[in-house]
Amino acid sequence: MSKTKKLGEGTYAIVYLGQLKADPSSQVAIKKIKVNTEYRDGLSMDAIREVKYLQELSHPNIIALHAVFSSKNQNLNLVLEFLPLGDLEMLIKDSEGIRYGTAEVKAWMGMLGRAVWFCHENFVLHRDIKPNNLLIAADGEVKLADFGLARSFSDPYRPMTYQVITRWNRPPELLYGARFYSGAVDVWSMGTVFAELILRVPYMAGNTDIHQLELICQAIGTPTEENWPGVSKLEGYVGYEKAVTVPVRGKDFYLARFGTAGSVGVDLLMSLLALDPRKRSTARQMLEHKWWTTDPRPTAKEDLPKKG
């Protein structure tokens, strides 16, 4: 294996382009997880989790992990499928250069839904679904990446940390500090990605966790014991007795904002953004929704818009 050039740098890693010595025409991405920082322990645990789960998950909509090796200073290197065409966030933001409509959104959401369904079938929560973690392959396939926060949820009695998921995509149960949560956290994030694909700006972009909750109350409705039995027992629940309680938004509210997805598309969006995680649709129910068979049919992956 040899590194050829630097592809990019994130918070926890530097990514290089590489090729396998045995096959000089091959291209792989080598993700070198940064260690020797003050967060060393936390980061290396994230890295180990990423490795463990990615190696087990083989699916067309999940980034492939070819190999793992450690280099000097015990740096961890992941040899990943090379995905040169950027991510969904880049497409969403390029509203001058890239045009797309409901058929494209349907294709992307279908690929995301199948990736998440496959994770959940295998007892893995992704926990950081956002447009920036949806990478695009040369054939147009969207692949879920960055499993740094994923962990198995097969043991329902083991409390989990709630400081996961980038704020804008974080579900209300995590903002309230829930320690026992389920695949529904990823389903909420899929709902926020769906909304952002349609609007081409993040739907609920909070500056702080409190602000994020305020935006959820405005956009979805205020969580109460009536619409979400048990919510007031969550550690971080803020009582809204004195504040104005926003009733759960009805279909007309969504149609006014997301009407381009059609009435059936709006039904799906509302089922992903249900406040009570038990009422939220599951990834499987999402894939069984009638939106997929309603016109327009999803765009074929080779016809999807690409960067540049």
Which residues of this chain interact with ligand ADP, rule CB under 6 A? Answer: 7-11, 13, 15, 29, 80-84, 132, 135, 146
Is 128 among the residues known to form the active site? yes
Nearer to ligand ADP, 111 or 275 (CB): 111
CB of 86 to ligand ADP, least distance (A): 7
Nearest to 61 by CA among 149, 183, 144, 148: 144
On the 0-12 / 13-18 / 19+ scale of CB atoms within 10 A, 19 is middle
- How many other C-beta atoms can be found within 10 angstroms of the C-beta atom of residue 37? 9
Q: Please, which residue, 9 or 225, has the CB nearer to ligand ADP?
A: 9
d(CA 100, CA 92): 9
Dihedral of CA atoms 143, 149, 154, 158 in degrees, nearest 10, equals: -170
* 18/221 with CB nearer ligand ADP: 18
Strand, coil or helix: 290: helix
Contacts of 210 (CB under 8 A, 6+ apart): 238
* CA distance linking residue 105 with residue 128, whole number of Å: 20
Q: Which is nearer to ligand ADP, 82 or 291 (CB)?
A: 82
Distance, in Å, from the CA atom of 196 to the CA atom of 214, rounded to the nearest integer, reads: 18
- Strands 124-125 and 142-144, by their bridges, are unpaired
Query: Which CB atom, from 15 or from 51, has the smaller least distance to ligand ADP?
Result: 15
CB of 142 to ligand ADP, least distance (A): 13
- Name the catalytic one among 87, 128, 146, 186: 128
The residue whose Cβ lies closest to ligand ADP is 10
Residues marked as catalytic: 128
